Amino acid sequence: MCSCLNEWEMSQATLTPAILHRQRLVRRLHPTGATCRRASRRPSQRRSRRRVAPGRHRRGRVRSPRDQIGTPAAWEDDFTGYVVDYGSYPDQQRAHFSLRDARHTLENASEGTGLEGSIYAGLEALTSDLLGREWQRDDGAAMKIGRCLIDANWGHSTNVVYQFCRQSPHASILLPSHGRFVGASSNPFSEYKRRPGDRVGLNWRVPSINGKRAIRHVIYDTNWWKSFTHARLAVSMGDRGCLSVFGDRPDMHRMFAEQVTAEYYIKTEGRGRTVDEWKARPEQPDNHWLDCLVGCAVAAAMQGALLFGTDNQATNRRDRVSFKDLQRKKRS
C-alpha cells in the first residue's frame, strides 16, 4: 500500500494526505505512497477482475486480494490505481474548502506549540492513524502501508520532516520526498550519473546519504510524473493502467477533481527533446491532492509497480563528440 503526505503552506498550518481506491475520476467533473506486492495473476483472472462495475466499492476498503495496493493509494502491478480515501488533517468537517478558508489548523490542534512543533505533532498523529491501522480488503484480508512519502520541499518544514522520518516508530517505511522541476532545458534524470549507494528508477532516484541530514530521501521529476498520473486518469475504466476513485457520486469528489486538475501542461522543446512543463492555473491555487497523488505514484514505482512499455523507455541521450572528431570527419 502507498501513502503520500503533503503539508499545505503553514500560514494556515494544515496537513493534507491523499488515500487511493476505486471508481474512475473523470476530468469533466469540473489530482506524500506505499505498496504491498502480490504475484501476477493469470490473464483470465485479470479479465474477470476488471468486469466489476464502478461505484460498488466502499470508502476505505481495499478492493482485491490480487491487487498491488497502497495508502493513500492502491496499485496493481501494472499501475492500475484505486483511490481508497482522501482528506485533510485536522478534519475540516466540510465537503468543500480551500487553504484560504481552512478553519481547523495544526496550530489549533496542538496548542502550546510553535510552527515546527505543530507540524511534528500533526505528522505524528496522522502517521499513527494511517500507518498503524490495518486496511481491509474485500476478501477480509488485512493489509498495511508499506511505503509513505512526506513532501519535504517547503523550506520551513524540511528539517522537521527529516527529523520526524528519522525518529518516528514507522521510520522503516517513511521517506522524505523532493519533487524537482525538470524542464526541456534541464538535464533529464536519464543522464544522471549514478554514484555508489544510489538507488535509481524511472525518473526518480534515492541518493546515497551525505551532508547534515543523515537520512535517505527520494527525488523525482515532477513534470514527468504529473503527465504520467494524468495519463492514468485518462485511461478508460476497466483497462489496465487506469486510475479511479471510490464511490458512485461524482459530486462528492468535486474538491478532489478541482485540485487534481489545478495545473495544465505546455509542450516545450529544448536540447533535442520535448517535455510537458506543468503550470498552475491562476484561478485554482490549491493543488495539494495532485501533489499527493503524484507522490503515491512515485512510491508505487519504488515498490515495484511497472507500466508496460516504460521498463525499456528510450532515452534521447546524445553521445558526446569532441571538436577533434568533428574536424576529422569534416576533412574526410
DSSP 198-220: -EEETTEEEPPP-SS--S--EEE
Q: What is the reported pLDDT for 52?
A: 27
pLDDT score of 141: 81
Lowest mean pLDDT among 49-53, 90-94, 294-298, 323-327: 49-53
Contact call for residues 50 and 274 (beta carbons, < 8 A): no
Residue 46 above 60 pLDDT?
A: no
Measured from the Cβ of residue 94, the count of other Cβ atoms closer than 10 Å reads 12
* Phi, psi for 85 (deg, rounded to 5): -170, 165
pLDDT tens digits, 260-270? 999 999 999 98
pLDDT tens digits along 152-170: 998 888 999 999 999 999 9
**Length of the chain, in residues:** 332
Q: Please give the DSSP secondary-structure letter assigned to residue 94.
A: S
259 pLDDT tier (thresholds 50, 70, 90)? very high
Q: How far apart are CA 57 and CA 48, in angstroms?
A: 16
CA distances from 119 to 7, 162, 175, 213 (A): 8, 12, 16, 18
% pLDDT > 90, the chain: 38
Q: What integer pLDDT is reported at residue 56 of this predicted model?
A: 43
> Whole-number mean pLDDT of the chain?
78
Q: Could you tell me which of 2, 173, 140, 27 has the C-alpha nearest to residue 84?
A: 2
At 212 the pLDDT is: 64
pTM: 0.76
> pLDDT tens, 86-138?
888 888 888 888 888 888 888 888 888 888 999 999 999 989 988 888 887 77
Q: What's residue 318's pLDDT?
A: 53
CA max distance for the chain: 78
Neighbours of 22 (CB within 10 A): 29
- When pLDDT is averaged across residues 283-312 and rounded to a whole number, the result is 88
Residues 6+ away with beta carbon under 8 Å from 26: 233, 250, 257
Q: Which three cell numbers stand for residue 73?
A: 493509494
Say what the pLDDT of residue 144 is. Answer: 83
The pair phi, psi for residue 288, each rounded to 5°, is -70, -40
- pLDDT tens-digit series, residues 230-250: 999 999 988 999 998 888 888
**Which grid cell sits at 314?**
528510450
Is the pLDDT at 228 greater than 90? The verdict is: yes
Task: Give residue 225's pLDDT.
Answer: 97
Q: What pLDDT sits at residue 67?
A: 29
Segment holding 107, helix H or strand E: helix 106-109
| CA–CA separation, 268 and 109 (whole Å) | 44
More confident residue, 70 or 174: 174
Nearest to 74 by CA among 310, 299, 307: 299
Pairing of strands 243-245, 81-83: parallel
Cα–Cα distance measured from residue 149 to residue 147, given in angstroms and rounded to the nearest whole number? 7
Residues 294-314 have a mean pLDDT of 83
Contact 274, 47 (CB under 8 A): no
pLDDT at 269: 93
* Burial per residue of 313-329, b for 16 or more beta-carbon CB atoms within 10 angstroms, e otherwise: eeeeeeeeeeeeeeeee
SS3 165: helix
Measured CA distances, 182 to 92, 173, 272 (Å): 34, 27, 14
